[in-house]
Amino acid sequence: MDVMELRRRVAGIDWFHTIDLGQGIVTPGIDDTPRKLGAIGLPGDLSGQTVLDIGAWDGFFSFEAERRGAKRVLATDSYCWSGQAWGKKSGFDLAHEALDSRVESKVVDVMDLSPKAEGVFDWVLFLGVLYHVRHPLRALEKVSAVTGKCLILETEVDLIGLRHPAMAFYPGTELNNDPTNWWAPNPRALLEMLRDVGFTDIRVVTPPRPLPFRMGRAVKQWRSQGKNPFREYKRDRIVVHALK
């Protein structure tokens, strides 16, 4: 594709992922996706493996799995690709074209995934999706059913520090001013839910950051955004690998 034409088409899309399309062109995503890649523990060599990317959006992780040698990659999404959010499938489609990718794509909601329809994959990516579903345990059952080897899950966690399993519910736009955010488990609840749906070996790859960091961040958010620091310091992100 002509460089000038590619630049023009890139400029016409609201990007979430930051994707290197080659020819010196990087999509202006609001998400620092390359940094996130380093946190999720995706194997450097996926030769001969199959990968399912649930909630693929612009497709950064799908294309990265392909670049690392996966023999088959299926990117799925529903909410973003249907145009209900501010994102659409146009970013994925343009990146797919620019990268001359073989990644497959399918519009399907996580609650509709099934081994019969989509198959079972060696590696399943479930990144930044769990807190957007109304029924998280049922969603994890669906994800487990299509995971053959390892699930890489990245999500919001809350109530950090509680030793017993618990979940925070976000009515309205309480979490990040986003009405599509519903639930966040604490780390203990997340591990127990994964065990409940059939994963036997669960490893925390990137844990929530230490308390002093979270408290400092909470104070900054209180001063700059008026957020309640007594709620914010209990929140962070986590990455786990759940193996069958």
Tens of pLDDT, residue by residue over 62-80, are 999 999 999 999 999 998 8
Does 35 fall in a domain? yes
**What was the pLDDT predicted at 86?**
67
Assign 3-state DSSP to the chain and report helix, strand, coil percentages, each to 5: 35, 25, 40
Asked if residue 122 is part of any domain, the answer here is yes
Three-state secondary structure call for residue 106: strand
Q: Which residues pair with 123 in a beta bridge?
A: 51, 150
Q: Which two tokens stand for residue 54?
A: 């649930």
What is d(CA 170, CA 156) in angstroms, rounded to the nearest whole number? Answer: 12
Collapsing DSSP to helix, strand or coil, 154 comes out as strand
* Residue 219 falls inside a structural domain: no
Which stretches of the chain are assigned E, i.e. beta strand?
A: 20-22, 25-26, 50-54, 72-77, 104-107, 121-127, 147-157, 167-169, 183-185, 201-206, 236-243
Q: Does residue 106 belong to any structural domain of this protein?
A: yes
Kindly state whether residue 50 falls inside one of the protein's structural domains: yes
Residue 85: pLDDT over 80: no
The mean pLDDT value for 208-217 works out to 97
The whole model's pTM is what? 0.95
Rounded to whole angstroms, how far apart are CA atoms 140 and 124?
Answer: 12
Q: What is the pLDDT of residue 177?
A: 82
Number of structural domains (the chain) is 1
Please tell me whether residue 228 adopts helix, strand or coil conformation.
Answer: coil
What's the average model confidence in pLDDT over 148-159? 98
CATH number at residue 128: 3.40.50.150
The two tokens of residue 75 are 């990117």
Residue 157 domain boundaries: 3-209+236-243
Share of the chain above pLDDT 70, in %: 98
The model's confidence at residue 83, banded by pLDDT at 50, 70 and 90, is confident
